[in-house]
Each structure stands twice: as structure tokens, then as C-alpha cells.
Amino acid sequence: MTIEFRDVHASYDANTPILRGVSFTVNDGEFVAFVGTNGAGKSTTMRLVNGLMKPESGEVLIDGVPTTQLKTSELARRVGFLFQNPDSQICCNTVREELLFGFRALKMDMDDAARRVDGIIAEFGFNPDDDPFLLNRGTRQLLALASIVVLETPVVVLDEPTTGLDFRECVKVMDIIRRLHERGTTVVMVCHDMEVVADFAERVIVMSDGLVVDQGPTFEVLRNRRTLEAASLVPPQIVDISLALQLMDPALVESPIARANTLAELYAAIAPDAQAVSFEGVAR
């Protein structure tokens, strides 16, 4: 399922334009990250994707159909949405009820719902009778994510799914998102953590002050100094190192060391033979 923005203008009140002509396309099955400074308009853009907001001018198209022509329930069946704060999403007294909520709201088949909810409870290791509000922050975030995953929408929109999580929780959340993407779900994720963006996103869209200022394959964008400065982005550490190496020695610009995008590529560039040494070999 594709998402297309055509010259979208949007605001919360008529006097303060927030999105000022946003255009982009997310293709079917893609994993795209939105990055940019606080207040750039990323969450507003996400609200337009799931129809919580409608454009003042321009068009938001889901598989070619303008969101203005889709009912809220029709949109919700197509686009799963994880809010920036999971607590604005959680509303039921038990984990099980929370996971069933979307099915009830969308008037979907409840036998099928019960089966899928049981599956997700087992997969995530939840206790179905827990009170969601008594869970810790990371588990509440996982529950909010699970309540979207369980609906099996063709598109998921995730507004900062890893913010506020510790490393272990972050790995867990991103593993679930990666598996969703592998199953063919179109994933749109707002994220401030460039390490996460570098590890998971195929393409990056950079926003600043209500506009898209750059977009392209992840590492093309994350290695572009002008983009990094314009959007105050801290690149992934490995890109930072390779950009710094180029500044120190311009002769390195063409070397694989300066073009490494991942730790594995950097190791391979420094010592091509190192790959031949396996951990097993080292252990012996």
C-alpha cells in the first residue's frame, strides 16, 4: 500500500501554518524514517497519514485514494498508528481487552480477533489480565505496539517507537518492527535516534520547519553534511567517524574507509582479511 503527499499544507489554527507544502511518496512495502528537529512537523505529517488531520490544501493519498474520501474506520483498517506517547493510546483495564479494542472499534470478526490476540499474547509474553496502566514504560510501549501489530494493517505509522526505552527494550521493539516489515508491511517511522534509523530504514525523509528538506536512501542522506547541519542531525557514530577521517585527510575521500556506513564495512575496509576469522576460530 502506498502513501503519497502532494503539496500538503496543514495547520492547527488558520494563523499558524505548520506544513507548508509537503510532498513525498512511500512505496508499498518500504521502510521509511522521518527525521528532523523538534517541531519540524513530523507528528503532524503522521496525523495526516492516518486521517486524524485533513490537509488544508494539497492531497494525502493512500493507495491513490485521498484521505478526505475515506471514512475514519476505512483508514484505520489500512493504517495502524503508534502515537508518540503510548499512554494516549491505552484505554482498557486489561492487556487482553486492550488488544481486542481495535477489533471492536473496527467491528471486525471477534472469533478471528480472539485467535490473533491469543497469538500475540504468547508472542510478546504478556499476562492477559495485567492492568496496562500498572506496567512499566517499556512494556506499555510494547503493548501499544502489539495492539497495532495484531490488527495486521498493510501500513504502520510509528511516531518515535523507541523514545524513553532502555537498550534492551529498544532492541525488542525494533525486532518486532523489522519482522513486520519483512512480512511486507509498509513501515513509516519517526525517529530521533540515527543509529536506529541507520540500522532499519531503507529511505529517510528529512523535515525542517514544515518542509521536506532532503530525502533519499538512508546513508546518502545521513552522510550529507549540508542536510545534517540543516536539520541538526547527529549522524550515526560510524558515519561521524568516517566524515571526520575525510576532514583530517582529504586523500581518504575515495577510500572505502571513508565510505563505510556500518561497523562491518569499516572493519572490512581496514582489514579485509579480518572477516575470515570467525568467533569459533578465536575461541579455539
Ligand X SMILES: Nc1ncnc2c1ncn2[C@@H]1O[C@H](COP(=O)(O)OP(=O)(O)OP(=O)(O)O)[C@@H](O)[C@H]1O
* Contacting residues toward ligand X, per CB under 6 A: 12, 18, 36, 38-44, 84
Q: Which of 200, 198, 206 is nearest to 177 (CA)?
A: 200
**Interface pattern 23-62 for Mg ion (x via CB under 5 A):** --------------------x-------------------
**Pairwise CA distance, residues 188 & 148, whole Å:** 13
Could you tell which of ligand X, Mg ion, none binds residue 235, using a CB distance below 5 to 8 A set by kind?
Answer: none
Nearer to ligand X, 201 or 260 (CB): 201
**Pairwise CA distance, residues 215 & 3, whole Å:** 15
Residue 203: CB minimum distance to ligand X, A: 18
Could you tell which of ligand X, Mg ion, none binds residue 267, using a CB distance below 5 to 8 A set by kind?
Answer: none
15 vs 12, 40, 43, 190, 209, CA distance in Å?
9, 17, 19, 26, 15
Whether 45 and 205 have beta carbons less than 8 Å apart is answered as no
Could you tell which of ligand X, Mg ion, none binds residue 161, using a CB distance below 5 to 8 A set by kind?
Answer: none
**Pairwise CA distance, residues 201 & 217, whole Å:** 9
Residue 41: CB minimum distance to ligand X, A: 4
Residue linked to cell 523538534: 38
Residue 32: CB minimum distance to ligand X, A: 15
Whether 32 and 4 have beta carbons less than 8 Å apart is answered as no
Q: Which amino acid is at 18?
A: I
Could you tell which of Mg ion, ligand X, none binds residue 18, using a CB distance below 5 to 8 A set by kind?
Answer: ligand X
Handedness of CA 167, 33, 67, 70 (dihedral sign): negative
Could you tell which of ligand X, Mg ion, none binds residue 39, using a CB distance below 5 to 8 A set by kind?
Answer: ligand X
Whether 102 and 147 have beta carbons less than 8 Å apart is answered as yes
Could you tell which of ligand X, Mg ion, none binds residue 38, using a CB distance below 5 to 8 A set by kind?
Answer: ligand X
Whether 131 and 93 have beta carbons less than 8 Å apart is answered as yes
Nearer to Mg ion, 43 or 261 (CB): 43
Nearer to ligand X, 42 or 116 (CB): 42
Nearer to ligand X, 22 or 258 (CB): 22
Nearer to Mg ion, 196 or 238 (CB): 196
Binding site for Mg ion (CB under 5 A): 43
